[in-house]
Amino acid sequence: MASYDNKPHADFPIPYKTIEEANSHLIEKPTEEHDAVIATFPLQPFIERPFTFTHPFRLYKGVWISELLLRGILEMQQRFKSRPTDIYLASSPKSGTTWLKAMIFATLTRTSYPLSQHPLHTHNPHQCVPHMERKFATGQSQIMEVIPSPRVMSTHMPYSLLSEFITDSDCRIVYVWRDPKDVLVSLWFFVQKIMGGADKVATFDQFYDLFCQGVHSFGPIWNHVLGYWEESKRRPEKVLFLKYEHILQDPVKHAKQLAHFMGCPYTEAEENDGVVEQIVELCSIKTLKDLDVNKGGNRATSDGPISHAHYFRKGKAGDWKSHMTQEMAERLNAIIGEKFKGSGLQI
Ligand code: A3P
């Protein structure tokens, strides 16, 4: 296979700087302006072990959102301006966001860097694609303004909320979803890691019960998935609806679909040179997980540093089988099956 590295990369900026690294002077003091309003929104049900996430959830327009990210969303209402060239990666947490961030970023920047020296070797995907509501919650709204077009940003907002911010119908949305049973398991392990141990967080049974009631980060998950599904049926050229398990089965096919959707399809020469396969390899969990930046690095957040390693666990389909009884799986399937009824969607 010919190497993509042989191509000229005239504008190769060394070293790569994230938008945050390049604009640290624009970081402001995080806003507390909306906290009084947020305190009036309904609080998540009480459970003995307090932590289902770093901040409690509040119900906002039918969506359970952590108090921190709600700050960001309310701040966005005052300050966010969409651009027609924007690309939003939307997902429910733990559905494959990190993977898709890597894929989208690598796809867009594939002619700017030799793949062997691509920024993903030294930066976690979350440093390359900013999470909108987190940036706005943490005093980085000005940074979002200076990102050159086309901006690629991620969000966990359901379509019902995101659509309030999109003022131009040309914006594109890539949505990824995943079997909710695996989302739940992944979430439980993730929260344990960020909170520092299993004894610090709700038990799996508590997580499960809350999840079945839709009480989890940006839940209920069924509304999240259905919102983007319906919109992708209405506007398939602007909303790409992907499933984690399908990407796992055929990543090369989906990498091509993604590039085409984003308006930068692979050329015949690139396909012949094996560029698609090289990008898939670069973004695979095996490659990313083994990189020093993802083994040892941290992401500074207002919740404290989050280790990059936390974003990579097994990366498989069906891990729920090791953590859930058949009865639990059937109950959750039935809840979601009922919500999906008539939509044409299946888990
Ligand atoms: P598991 O906990 O099931 O392993 P998110 O990025 O939305 O937070 O989702 C995290 C999940 O995606 C975790 O699932 C993680 O291991 C998996 N993941 C992260 N990077 C991946 C990649 N490059 N390929 C496939 N799965 C990946």
User: Which tokens sit at 288?
Assistant: 């990313």
The 10 Å Cβ neighbour count of residue 230 is 16
Residue with the smallest CA separation from ligand 1 atom 23 is: 285
**Is 288 touching ligand 1 by the criterion CB < 6 Å?**
yes
Residue 156 falls in the annotated catalytic set: yes
Segment 263-290 shows an average pLDDT of 97
Task: Report the chain's mean pLDDT, rounded to a whole number.
Answer: 91
Closest-CA residue to 168 (of 66, 289, 86): 86
265 phi and psi angles, rounded to 5 deg: -60, 155
3-class DSSP assignment, residue 221? helix
Would you state the pLDDT for residue 298?
83
- The strand pairing partners of 43, in sequence order, are 58
Would you state the pLDDT for residue 2?
34
3-class DSSP assignment, residue 272? helix
d(CA 151, CA 273): 28
- The strand pairing partners of 299, in sequence order, are 306
Q: How confident is the model at residue 9 (pLDDT cuts 50, 70, 90)?
A: low
The predicted-structure confidence for 84-130, as pLDDT tens digits, reads as follows 999 999 999 999 999 999 999 999 999 988 899 999 999 999 999 99
Estimate the share of the chain in helix, then strand, then coil, as percent rounded to the nearest 5: 50, 10, 40
First to last CA, the chain: 37
The predicted-structure confidence for 208-229, as pLDDT tens digits, reads as follows 999 999 999 999 999 999 999 9
d(CA 98, CA 79): 26
d(CA 258, CA 266): 10
Would you state the pLDDT for residue 195?
83
User: Which tokens sit at 136?
Assistant: 């706005």
d(CA 167, CA 170): 9
Q: What is the pTM of this model?
A: 0.94
Listed in order, strand segments (DSSP E) in 86-213 are: 87-91, 152-155, 172-177
The 10 Å Cβ neighbour count of residue 146 is 11
Would you state the pLDDT for residue 49?
55
Percent of the chain predicted with pLDDT > 70? 93
**Is 98 touching ligand 1 by the criterion CB < 6 Å?**
yes
Of 24 and 59, which is predicted with more confidence? 59
Q: How confident is the model at residue 67 (pLDDT cuts 50, 70, 90)?
A: very high
Would you state the pLDDT for residue 302?
63
Tell me: pLDDT of 4 over 50: no
State the distance from the centre of ligand 1 to the C-alpha of 156, rounded, in angstroms: 15
Tell me: pLDDT of 303 over 80: no
For ligand 1, mutation pick of 311, 314, 319 (most atoms within 8 Å of CB)? 311
Closest-CA residue to 252 (of 224, 226, 283): 283
State the distance from the centre of ligand 1 to the C-alpha of 183, rounded, in angstroms: 9
Long-range contacts of 243-249 (CB under 8 A, 24+ apart): 243/176, 243/177, 243/178, 244/95, 244/96, 244/99, 244/176, 244/177, 244/178, 244/179, 244/182, 244/317, 245/178, 245/179, 245/317, 247/96, 247/99, 247/176, 248/315, 248/316, 248/317
The CATH number assigned to the domain with range 23-340 reads 3.40.50.300
State the distance from the centre of ligand 1 to the C-alpha of 312, rounded, in angstroms: 5
Tell me: pLDDT of 322 over 90: yes
Would you state the pLDDT for residue 13?
59
Catalytic residue among 156, 224, 254, 308: 156
Q: How confident is the model at residue 7 (pLDDT cuts 50, 70, 90)?
A: very low
